[in-house]
Amino acid sequence: MKCTMLLATGILALLAAPMAGHHPRAVVLGESQSVDLPIGYDIDRSDVPLVLIGQLLGGTRIPGGIAQLEGCSGVPVLHLTAKRGMTIREAMDALVSENPSYQWQLEGGVVNLIPRSGSAALLDAKIRSFQLNTTDQKMDAHAVLYDIIRVPEVRQRAAELKLQPGMMQGGPGVYDEHPAKREPVPIMISLKDVSLREAFNSVVRTYGHTIWIYREHECNGSKTYIMQAETD
C-alpha cells in the first residue's frame, strides 16, 4: 500500500509534463461531441490508468473518472496504442480493446474508465441526498469527493462489502490558504437518489478538467478503498 501511495503522489507531476505534439484545443462541445476531438500525437506506452487518461484528456477540459482494483503488487499497468488523428472516443475504444478487464463509458460528459461488471461494487452505492453550496477557493474537488464518500449510505455499503477506508489525503474543508487573486467560482451541487459514481461525475463536471480516482486495494486479506482527485 505504501508503494501505491508514493506512486499516486507523483502522478500529477507526470500529467503536467510537456508531451510530444499538441493537445486538442479546449472548445465548448456537446457531451458526445467532446470525445470526437482528435489527439495530436502518437501514443504507445504502458502506464498506470491515470497517466494514460491524463494524456488523452489533458488540455481538453473534459473531466474523467477512473476506478481501479489493486492487489499486493500495487497499481495495475495498462497499455495503449493510439495514432495521431484518432478521436478520443477511438483511443478509448483501443484502450479497452487492449485491456479487456476494463470498460469505458461517457456519462454526462465525463469519461469513465472502470473495471468490467461485478467489480468496484461500492461505486453503485445509492446516495439519498447531498447538498453543497461553496466556492472553488473554499473547497477543492478532492475535499468534496471526500465528503461524499463519507456519507452514511456509502459507509454502510462499504461495511457490507467488508471494505475499510484507507488513508486519504486532505478532507472536509480543505482549501488553499493563499489563493490567487481572482473571483471565487461558485460551486453548487445538489444530488438526490444517485449512485456514488454518478455523484463523483457530478463533482468533476462542476469543477471541470478534473479526474476522480477510486481505488480498491486488496492484499493479504485486507480490503481498503480510497479516492483522490487530480486537476490538469
**pLDDT reported for residue 58:** 85
Contact in structure between 200 and 114 (CB atoms under 8 Å): no
Q: What is the pLDDT of residue 30?
A: 54
Question: Is 11:51 a contact under the CB 8 Å cutoff?
Answer: yes
pLDDT tens digits for range 131-158: 999 998 899 999 999 999 999 999 999 9
In b/e form, how buried is each residue of 99-115, taking b as 16+ CB within 10 angstroms?
A: beebebebbebbbbbbb
The model's pLDDT over 148-190, given as tens digits with 9 standing for 90+, comes to 999 999 999 999 999 999 875 544 444 455 655 778 889 999 9
pLDDT on residue 171: 41
Instruction: Give the whole-angstrom CA distance, residue 48 versus residue 170.
Output: 22
Averaged over 38-54, what is the pLDDT? 94
Give the bridge partners for 78, in sequence order: 47
Please say if the pLDDT value at position 88 is more than 80: yes
Residue 121 has a CB neighbour count (10 Å cut-off) of 15
Closest of 228, 218, 11 to residue 119, by C-alpha: 218
Q: What's the pLDDT at 126?
A: 97
Strand partners, 43: 82
**Taking the domains of the chain in order of start, what are their residue ranges?**
2-231
Over residues 117-135, the pLDDT tens digits come to 767 999 999 999 999 999 9
Residues 194-218 have a mean pLDDT of: 95
Q: What are the two backbone dihedrals, phi and then psi, of residue 83, each rounded to the nearest 5 degrees?
A: -105, 150
> 201 pLDDT exceeds 60?
yes
Q: With cut-offs at 50, 70 and 90, classify the pLDDT of residue 74.
A: confident
More confident residue, 26 or 115: 115
Q: What is the pLDDT of residues 12-24, one digit of tens each?
A: 333 433 333 333 3
